[in-house]
Amino acid sequence: MASILPNGKNQFFDQNGDPLVGGQVWTYEPGTTTPKLTYSDEGATVPNTNPVILDSRGEALIFWVGAYSVTLLDALGGLIYTVDGIQEAEAAGATDALREELADDTDNTRGAYMIGLLLSGAGEQPTNMGDFADKEVKGFQRNFGAAGDGVTNNYDAFVSMLTSTDSVIEIEPGTYLVDGALALPVPTCSAIIGWGPDVSIIQIGAAITDQVIDATAFLRLSNFKLRGAEVAGVGGIYYGKSAIWYGESHNVRVENFKCAGSYGMRLGDAQKRLISHPYLDGNYDNCRSDRTSPGFPTSPLIDHPIIVNAEN
């Protein structure tokens, strides 16, 4: 974007608006009488005298760095004005550069991360828009680009969703196909929340060969459906497989993990957490437990389950 050509030199005027011939430009550190240098070149390598004496047109070439107090006198020492805290002009192109940095959505040191955010709640710490958004509810479609058409493979988006550390994930209405030969990662998000099992549906494809969700730490699950493919040995949700699960699960429906060795819900080390209103339908084992002796692994509380059509 073009900008207007600035004056090549600084020009000053007297009280009558005439060029301040022989005028004196004194420059100081802001708020003090400590002299501060200006320069006659852009690289700030050739200092001006202080004061700078204006020529026969009331002009001088003055470059400066930072903030100054400026006192302007006429040739006889009469005061024209004093101004404190004058800042150097913005460098050419700086506005365009800033605009580009603010528009950058690929770098977590630019874009929204450059915009400060002061929160009003008691004890809340200042942050920036990027970090704030990272902790807010993220949509499977909205933030990760998933398509809920039942056809598009959302494997990469699903992996990104699971590993969005500490994020609350919203499964917007739709049927989301997830299919891929690589093992799915242990979730590091803090919650996966749908709009209801009849409208927020994760459809697993035939290439998935292990459990879909390895629920650990404080992961919360609610209000979505996990529908399996007919592949042997694939599980739906394994609570406390790779680490202890301290979270909660509510109104999650798991169905159609029906081939030999498969399960809808499996209980590992779940530290007596609450699984409320699970709906397990048509799985080889609707609910499987790793518990082999009293007290270990510690079983969760299962409240109001619906368990139907077990294949095994």
Q: What is the pLDDT of residue 176?
A: 97
More confident residue, 139 or 94: 139
Query: Is 60 exceeded by the pLDDT of residue 294?
Result: no
* Enclosing H/E stretch for 27: strand 24-28
More confident residue, 132 or 174: 174
How many other C-beta atoms lie within 10 A of the C-beta of residue 248? 18
Q: How confident is the model at residue 270 (pLDDT cuts 50, 70, 90)?
A: low
Percent of the chain with pLDDT over 90: 52
Rounded Cα distance, 201 and 12, in Å: 72
Please write the tens of the pLDDT for every residue from 171-226: 999 999 999 988 899 999 999 999 999 999 999 999 998 889 999 999 999 999 99
Rounded Cα distance, 265 and 262, in Å: 9
Query: Is 90 exceeded by the pLDDT of residue 116?
Result: no
Q: Which residue has the tokens 């969700």?
A: 213
Q: What is the CA radius of gyration of the chain?
A: 34
Rounded Cα distance, 207 and 196, in Å: 26
Q: Which CATH number does 9-89 carry?
A: 2.170.14.10
What sign does the CA torsion over 197, 198, 200, 205 have? positive
Instruction: Break the chain into its structural domains and give their ranges.
Output: 9-89, 91-135, 138-308
* Contact in structure between 117 and 132 (CB atoms under 8 Å): yes
Query: Is 80 exceeded by the pLDDT of residue 300?
Result: no
Please write the tens of the pLDDT for every residue from 68-97: 999 999 999 999 999 998 876 655 556 677
- Amino acid in position 41: D
Q: How confident is the model at residue 295 (pLDDT cuts 50, 70, 90)?
A: very low
Q: How confident is the model at residue 307 (pLDDT cuts 50, 70, 90)?
A: confident
| 3-state SS assignment for residue 87 | strand
What sign does the CA torsion over 16, 17, 22, 23 have? positive
Q: What is the pLDDT of residue 91?
A: 54
Sheet holding 67-73, edge to edge: 52-53, 24-28, 67-73, 79-87
Please write the tens of the pLDDT for every residue from 239-261: 988 888 889 999 999 999 988 88
Q: How confident is the model at residue 105 (pLDDT cuts 50, 70, 90)?
A: confident
Rounded Cα distance, 151 and 178, in Å: 9
Q: Which residue has the tokens 């500490």?
A: 166
Distances (CA, A) of 65 to 33, 70, 120, 185: 17, 13, 36, 52
CATH architecture of the region 138-308: 3 Solenoid (2.160)
Query: Is 80 exceeded by the pLDDT of residue 1?
Result: no
